[in-house]
Structure 1
Amino acid sequence: MSVEAKSAIAMSRPGLFSRFADDETERRYSERARTLRLPFVRLYGVIFMVVALAYSIVNPMFLAPTDNAQLAIFLGFALLVCGAYIGTTFWAGYIRFVLIDFIALLTLSLLVGKINMVLFEHLASLDATLYAVGVIDRLIITAFAAVTLAGRPRAFLGWLALDALAWFAQISNGQPHISGVVYSVLSYSSGAVVMVAINLAVGRTSRAAFQLADSLDSERARNEELVLNMLPPAAVNRIRSGLLVADSYADASVIFIDMVGFSTLAKRVSPGHLVELLNAFFNHADACAREFGVEKVKTVGDAYLAIAGGNVPSGNSADAAIAFARAVIAGVPEMGKGAGIEVALRAGIHSGPVVGGVIGETRMAYDYWGDTVNIAARLDATAPVNGIAVSEITWLRARDREGFGEPVTIGLKGVGDVAVYIAQPLAGGHMENAA
């Protein structure tokens, strides 16, 4: 199923009596819910059979042989139907047929009604107060409590214990026949046990539903974080709306930083060691980007491309770009110490207009294009080891020009001669004036 179809289903959740619009979703929902309730359906059946057997044992003690024989027939049929019902739940196709539950429970309800009629007639003939009949009304409240306190079984058991004490105090007085008390206790106890099972069942299914929803929310949050890590929030919103993502920035500063002698270094160290070194470089650059308000665009091999003045506000883009490049190069000694080898970087910066946007539908990323990006890449190649090369445009826009020497004219491929300002490195990766 496609992402669009799943999203449409999620947005059209059914109401109390409605179905999912998609039949396949409705089928999966029904089978999942019935599978979760299956242990409790069997438990209800076992409880019913135990209660029916208890009545079969008690009846001969109070009923005339004719009434007892009649009840034995009804109870026997009830046990047979309930046993068959429980057995059917072990059939693999049971969860697909709700009609099985409908017929079985309707049959049991009719048999229980017949059994109650015989018992009520017996109690009425004794002029006994029909407390057993009043148990039904009390169990309605108990059912409400079982559902309301679902997921809190201890609280429900405490409520049920107090309710049972109050109920027993009521029936202990004024009941002239022991049979009325016994049947009342049987009725209340059997109903209470069923309500406990209902409380557990509803709690279990509601917790399972919550766990599923919570897992989906967590996964959605992780996916959202991943998407926002690759794309700007504004771009994500436009993509979700089906809009084209294309932006123009008139005053941005593009930074290229790469590792000096990477090809030679790749031949000297193992692949694992090389990846570890690149990871340290890129993680350090990411931290510096966050500190100076610079946006990471991408990494290409050993090169790190970033931009100031794009989607991330940075004030004066030239100052932010220079400060970022200085901070990254300042970490060279630490990176070299951690890698156990000599590490060197260089950076190139150029300012001007750029175009940013998202192209394609797979592996999407927000990228930048234009002459400004190309010239920054060319300047990177002209920078000295652990030094920075900036264009005249960047130097003029920057307020912080410390460490840069007099301009030198350098011919850039595809660009021509340009004035370049260079900050030479000091020991430890710091810059000094080239003049």
Structure 2
Amino acid sequence: MQVMSHGQFADPAVEARFQETARTLRLPFVRVYGVLFMLVALAYTIANPMFVSHEDTAKLAIYFGCMLILAGTYIGATFWPGYVSRPGVDFAALLGIVFLLGHINLVLFDELIDLQEEMHAVGVMNRLSVSAFAAVALASRPRLFLLWLALDVVVFLSTVLAVQSHGAGLWYALLSYMSGAMIMIAINFAIDRSSRGAFALAEALEAERAKNEALVYNMLPHAAVERIRDGRVVADSYADASVIFIDMVGFTRLAQRVSPGHLVELLNNFFNHADRCAAEHGVEKVKTIGDAYLAIAGGNVVSGNSADAAIAFARAVLDGVGELQRIAGTDVGLRVGIHSGPVVGGVIGATRMAYDYWGETVNMAARLESTAPVNGIAISESTWLRTTDRAAFGPPHDEMLKGVGETCVYHAAPAAGVADLTAVSRVA
């Protein structure tokens, strides 16, 4: 929940967002209230000639005309984009309306009561209708509403004191007015509190929803999430993708030499580094398998040339081997295998869902990784034919791959400046 301070949200940004949201949601009610008020004013204008003298009818027509123009302008202002951020528009318009209303009541009472009866303080056209209007329009600004009420009292007293003695009529009118004002304050406060509570709850729910959505999008591609929400099967075919398989050399031996905490730190740094490189080169992380990292170029993440993107990603990951060696405090190496071809991707199962890729291309990349030099890259002929950057790869040679047979493979030399790990390679 959002923290409150002195009746407002402690965070100014949250308070500003609440003000904008609350005023936007109240816009339809403010407009309807304004139209209803104009209709009431029109009804008085139609009825006046039947009961009021010609002289006062002309005077009332001016007052009601000004009121209708002011109310209409106020309603029109609510359609202005800057209205939501300017509560002063409500304040000024409603204060002007209540000022005109006070003068209208004086004229009407001059017509309805005997000249000997001093009852000007009692309104014919109810002032509380405008107060209720202000209580709603300024609900999220209780201090501004209290200031408006205070000025309304000043307008009320300045209007009636000139024509009303300080007798029982005035005091009863003041009691009536103040009791109504207290009710309007309570309404204004209740709307403000309930609005803030609802907004804080909505903000908390939205934050939780955003976190959950971020977790979902971290596990699944956006397009896959939309299809799952619609109840559709998520199955895709990619004709030209490049699969990258990266494995840590001598991990089993390393696990026997270092503490579990140290090992987890090393893996975490490796995977985080690979994630950053994947984001930089437009490569999609598929999953981690033990100490291995599986990624794909040309799958859900669009890339111009999947082979070029895959090789650039692999080189960026290998550039971080020096830092991994520093963290491990010992020689650490990586091997990379890349193969290009068709793959099938999709989401299976109903629990712990993940978007995965299958096919011979994935299997071949894993087999190629085992032939790569330590801190080097092994690519298939298929990838070599697709890439535009062949200079770093040596001449082709045949490798016997398990379950595949003899395969034409191209190797890239280990990254410059990385420690010689020939011994590690022999025991991996």
TM over 0.5, yes or no?
yes
Cα distance in 1 for partners of 2:114, 2:281 equals 93
1:430 shift after superposition: 10
The aligned runs of 1:80-119 (5 Å cut-off) are: none
1:287 to 2:287 alignment: no
Structure 2 counterpart SS, 1:382: coil
- Coordinate RMSD, CA, aligned: 2.2
Pick closer, same or farther for the CA change 1:270–1:126 going to 2, 3 Å.
farther
Cα distance in 2 for partners of 1:321, 1:244 equals 28
Cα distance in 1 for partners of 2:341, 2:418 equals 27
Cα distance in 1 for partners of 2:145, 2:260 equals 62
Pick closer, same or farther for the CA change 1:343–1:135 going to 2, 3 Å.
farther
1:317 to 2:311 alignment: no
1:372 to 2:361 alignment: yes
Structure 1 counterpart SS, 2:126: helix
Instruction: Choose the corresponding residue for 2:214, options 201, 213, 225.
Output: 225
Structure 1 counterpart SS, 2:143: helix
> What is the aligned partner in structure 2 of residue 72 from structure 1?
none
Query: Over residues 10-60 of structure 1, what are the superposed CA-to-partner deviations in whole Å (9 max), with x where a residue is unaligned?
Result: xxxxxxxxxxxxxxxxxxxxxxxxxxxxxxxxxxxxxxxxxxxxxxxxxxx
Pick closer, same or farther for the CA change 1:177–1:398 going to 2, 3 Å.
closer
1:240 shift after superposition: 1.5
Task: Single out whichever of 166-175 and 326-335 deviates more from structure 2.
Answer: 166-175
The aligned runs of 1:292-311 (5 Å cut-off) are: 292-311=281-300
Cα distance in 2 for partners of 1:208, 1:384 equals 62
Cα distance in 1 for partners of 2:229, 2:405 equals 42
Structure 2 counterpart SS, 1:425: coil
Instruction: Choose the corresponding residue for 1:411, options 386, 397, 400.
Output: 400
> What is the aligned partner in structure 1 of residue 36 from structure 2?
none
1:350 to 2:339 alignment: yes
Cα distance in 2 for partners of 1:275, 1:199 equals 57
Structure 2 counterpart SS, 1:217: helix
Query: Over residues 262-312 of structure 1, what are the superposed CA-to-partner deviations in whole Å (9 max), with x where a residue is unaligned?
Result: 111111111111111111111111111111111110111110000011111
Query: Over residues 117-154 of structure 1, what are the superposed CA-to-partner deviations in whole Å (9 max), with x where a residue is unaligned?
Result: xxxxxxx9996533564288111211111111101011
- Could you tell me which runs of 5 or more consecutive residues in structure 2 were left unpaired when the two chains were aligned: 1-112, 421-428
The aligned runs of 1:70-89 (5 Å cut-off) are: none
Instruction: Choose the corresponding residue for 1:326, options 315, 324, 345.
Output: 315
The aligned runs of 1:112-261 (5 Å cut-off) are: 128-131=117-120, 133-134=122-123, 137-176=126-165, 178-261=167-250
Structure 1 counterpart SS, 2:336: strand
Contact residue 120 and residue 163 of structure 2 kept, 8 A: no
Cα distance in 2 for partners of 1:334, 1:177 equals 89
Percent identical pairs in the alignment equals 67
Structure 2 counterpart SS, 1:428: coil
Cα distance in 1 for partners of 2:403, 2:124 equals 94
> What is the aligned partner in structure 1 of residue 374 from structure 2?
385
Count, aligned residues = 308
1:229 shift after superposition: 1.9
Contact residue 330 and residue 428 of structure 1 kept, 8 A: no
Instruction: Choose the corresponding residue for 1:428, options 413, 417, 424.
Output: 417
Cα distance in 2 for partners of 1:430, 1:315 equals 34
Structure 2 counterpart SS, 1:162: helix
Cα distance in 1 for partners of 2:249, 2:298 equals 27
Cα distance in 2 for partners of 1:287, 1:267 equals 28
Cα distance in 2 for partners of 1:305, 1:430 equals 24
Query: Over residues 149-182 of structure 1, what are the superposed CA-to-partner deviations in whole Å (9 max), with x where a residue is unaligned?
Result: 1010111111111111010112212224521121
Cα distance in 1 for partners of 2:264, 2:408 equals 36
1:402 to 2:391 alignment: yes
Structure 2 counterpart SS, 1:173: coil
Pick closer, same or farther for the CA change 1:430–1:246 going to 2, 3 Å.
farther
Matched AA of 2:372: A
1:214 shift after superposition: 2.4
1:217 shift after superposition: 2.5
Matched AA of 1:294: V
Matched AA of 1:370: G
Cα distance in 2 for partners of 1:341, 1:199 equals 69
- Could you tell me which runs of 5 or more consecutive residues in structure 1 were left unpaired when the two chains were aligned: 1-123
Q: TM-score, with normalisation over the residues of structure 1?
A: 0.67
Cα distance in 1 for partners of 2:147, 2:225 equals 51
Cα distance in 2 for partners of 1:430, 1:143 equals 79
Pick closer, same or farther for the CA change 1:136–1:273 going to 2, 3 Å.
farther
Cα distance in 2 for partners of 1:367, 1:252 equals 14
